[in-house]
Amino acid sequence: MKTDPRFPRLHIVDHPLVQHKLSLMRDKRTSTRDFRELLSELALLMGYELTRDFPVALEEVETPVAHCWSPMLTGKKCVIVPVLRAGLGMSDALLTLMPSARVGHIGLYRDENHRPVEYLVKLPAQLEGRTFIVVDPMVATGYSGAHAVDVLKKRGVPGESIRFMALVAAPEGVEVFSKLHPDVDLYVASLDERLNENAYIVPGLGDAGDRIFGTK
Ligand code: URA
């Protein structure tokens, strides 16, 4: 895991498999089907890193050979929160890792000034004591991600219980996100160069939602 001195809560997952798959996703010739599959594989690999410090407790297990105490995940089920629509491309993979997780949805679109407008919030009834994994592949301006975290904090979720998983981030977006939420860990596969005049990440991978769903 790589870090950046500018952003103490940023974790860059620099595993060779992650970097290889991301390079394939960046290629504009990659088909919708392959893009979707790669995103899912990346979410699995990144999810493995992001959950590395999840608490475990020893439980009694009878193997066919002997009795033993063996570590099992403990505490309340975590909540996966895809930011619609591109976050959906990563949430199923996390559910594969943690099939009992709950799933919330936050729907945002970008207005003409690239600012997030909320159109849907659907979360589990019991939020207390749970860890939240917010997923959205691109941290561009940082405002959508920050808004999604705001939605959770306004409902009483502490920043320490929220982790944000993205694929690619622009430094401008990480700056905004980290200023607004200095208590939230952000996991990405790459910190790219910059934003362009249309608030797209350079070099990035284009519009993640369009590439996942085959839209224009
Ligand atoms: N959203 C995307 O899907 N891609 C970008 O580069 C920026 C925002």
% residues pLDDT > 70 (the chain)? 100
Expressed in angstroms and rounded, the spacing between residue 58 Cα and the centre of ligand 1 is 43
Expressed in angstroms and rounded, the spacing between residue 182 Cα and the centre of ligand 1 is 23
Q: What is the pLDDT of residue 110?
A: 87
pLDDT above 90 for 98: yes
Pocket test of ligand 1: the residue of 114, 138, 202 to mutate, having most ligand atoms within 8 Å of its CB, is 138
Asked whether 22 and 30 are in contact (CB, 8 A), the reply is no
Q: What is the pLDDT of residue 114?
A: 85
Ligand 1 pocket check for 207: Cβ under 6 Å: yes
pLDDT above 90 for 86: yes
pLDDT above 90 for 61: yes
pLDDT above 90 for 129: yes
The annotation status of 70 as a binding-site residue, yes or no, is no
Q: What is the pLDDT of residue 29?
A: 98
Pocket test of ligand 1: the residue of 26, 90, 190, 205 to mutate, having most ligand atoms within 8 Å of its CB, is 205
With bands split at pLDDT 50, 70 and 90, how would you rate the model's confidence at 1? very high
